[in-house]
Each structure stands twice: as structure tokens, then as C-alpha cells.
Chains A and B, each alone.
Chain A
Amino acid sequence: MIAATHAHTHETAQPVEHEHVALPQLRHHFETEEQQREAATFGMWLFLLTEIMFFGGLFFSYLLYRNWYYDAFVVASNQLSVPLGGINTAVLITSGFFMALGVWAAEVKKKGLLVLFLILTILFGCVFIGIKADEYHEKWEKHHIPGDHFDVAEFVNPHAYGLNEKPLPPDAANRTQIFFSLYFLMTGLHALHMLIGLGILFWLLWRAHRGDFSAGYVAPIENFALYWHFVDIVWLFLFPLLYLINRHPGA
């Protein structure tokens, strides 16, 4: 097939020898396994770049509103639990670590290890979602979800609630709703990406168990790992921006 289009290199360049069996890692329209792998990685990164733009718009909104309504953002941000956010960061990094090990297990064709690492990836992903759900529930109970039932009491009169914050006038206190809107939108979209990822992980686990990825065909594991690590990176920025940077608002 190469000979037909590149006759002048016929003697020196031969396609990889394979019988007329369609291997998933070398489909007939690719010349080499490397080329197919490269094409898949390239395509996956193009998708991830659209995701950067997607989350990027929200990060930009956060930047702008934080500058406009700084006081409201400081007190609202300090409502979040740093221990829970910190633990969740470590949990997510651990999940990503096991995903990376899963890619290695697929590369070296160790089926048992791949299945084990995928299970651990899923497990830590679920722990993250669980902690996140607990944080959301706390906001629900305190009426800190934006809307008709939003309660500004803790921001208008923080000392009555044992909070060491500056009391806000009612209009500024109401703008904490903008912080919480962005908080729920950004962490919610991040969590949605994780839930979609967990769904795909169960499918990959089933296929890995069947042996699909332990005979040289690594692309689905490799490219899903790119997605999973991308979702980690989004959190690596959400954690400091939402939880950390207002702890010491400066003199």
C-alpha cells in the first residue's frame, strides 16, 4: 500500500509486517503504530484545548468579579473548609497517580495490575465526589446556595456567629451570592467532568478485564488518562482560588 503512493522509497521503507488482521493499534489507514498513536494523542489534546477555553471563561469571570466585589469574595471564600479542600486535593492527586500507573500497566501488558489500578482510580475518584457532596450539603443547610432562600446573616453580622470577619453592609453581603454562584458552577462543572470520567472508567475497567488493553492496544487507556489528568489540573487551580487566597486578605 505504501508502494503505490511512494514508489521511490519502496526498497527502504516497508510498513510493519502484519497479517491481514485488523489490529486495533494499527488500523489499515495508518502506516505505522506510532502514527496512529500520534494521531489519537493529537486529537485528544485538541479536545482538551477546547476544555481549557470552556473552564477558562469561568476562571476569567472569577478573576473579574473578585476584583469588583473583593470584600464579599473574601468573607464568602473563608466559609469554605481548607481541611476538606486540602484532603480532596490529595485524594484527587492520588487518583491521578493510580491512573498514570494504569497507563504503565497497559504499556507493559500486565492485565491484573491494570485492572487493580483502574479500580483504585475509581475508588479515589468516588471519595473526592463524596467529600464534595458533604461540602455542598453543608452549604445547603446554611442557606448559602444562591437564590430566594440565600441567608446573608453570617456576612452582615459575622461576630454573632463567632466569625472573625469584617461585617458587610447588606448590598455587599448580597454579593456573596456571586461568589457562591461561581463556586457551585466551577466545582459543579468539575464534579460533572469527574462523574462522566467515572462512567468511562467503569467501561474501561470492564474492557481491561476482558483483556482489550493488554496486547499492545493502549490508546483508550492513554487518552482517557489525559482527560483524567486534565480534570485534576482544573482542581489544582480551583483549590487555591476558591479556598486559599483570601485567608489573609492583607493589611
Chain B
Amino acid sequence: MTDHHHHDPSNITNPEHAEHHVVTPFTYGIVFGTLLIFTGLTVVAAYIDLGIFNPVVALAIATIKAVIVILFFMHIKYQSKLIKMTVGAGFFTFFGLVAMTLSDYITRAWGLW
């Protein structure tokens, strides 16, 4: 294993400053329980009449679950800045594409809907 504390001015031995982190079964267990609880919540919420907020709540819960999976099961919480930036940039680009495509469809019959 590499000694992370030695003198390394040119970032030769560990260019990405990636500390390797082993996530414990205990953490995975908590994540697992949380995901199951949110699954139950989203089913219950679907049968409560929240008007236009039904889809909003469902998507919010799905997003929370996805972020938990990405951070812990997929280790992003413990990764280097390069990996974090890569993931963030990917989602940013995706939402940019959605926003631009939506703006096209919404403005095709501007004022008629």
C-alpha cells in the first residue's frame, strides 16, 4: 500500500489524491433499511390525494433514494473530486438537454394550451 503522508510535491505516487475507503456492512445495512422505508412511504403517499403534488412527492422520494444509492452503494461520497465532478457534470448535461427539449415543445403552440 502507498503511504499517503509522505512527501509527494509533484503528485507522482497518488495523482488523484484518492484515499481508498472500504464501506462497512453496517453502513450498507442502514442504507438498505432507509431505501425500504422510502419505498413504503412512496406507496402510501400514492394513495393520499395530494392533488398536483402526488407526482412531485413521488419524484422527490425517488430522487432521495437515487442520491442515497449513488452516495453510499456507488461510493461517490468517498471518491475523489474528479469522479464527483464527472457524475455531477453528467446529470447537469442531462437536465440541460431535458430543459432545452421541453422549451421547444412548450413554445410550439405558445399561448394555445
Contact = CB atoms under 8 A, between A and B. Distances in A.
Contacts of A107: 22
A16 B6 CA distance: 13
Contacts of A241: 58-59
Contacts of B31: 97, 100
B66 A250 contact: no
B85 to A, nearest CB: 10
A35 B66 contact: no
A127 to B, nearest CB: 15
Contacts of B61: 240
Nearest to A108: B22
Residues of A contacting B: mostly = helix
Interface stretch (A86-94, A183-191, A201-209): A86-94
Contacts, number: 170
Interface string B27-54: 0110110011001001100111111101
Nearest to A9: B10
A228 to B, nearest CB: 9
A21 B22 CA distance: 26
Given A34-B20, A237-B62, A13 B73 contact: no
A244 B56 CA distance: 11
27 contacts: A6-B12, A9-B10, A13-B12, A16-B1, A33-B1, A37-B18, A41-B79, A45-B83, A46-B86, A49-B90, A52-B91, A60-B98, A97-B73, A101-B28, A103-B23, A104-B22, A104-B25, A222-B75, A232-B69, A232-B73, A240-B58, A240-B61, A240-B62, A244-B54, A244-B58, A247-B46, A251-B51
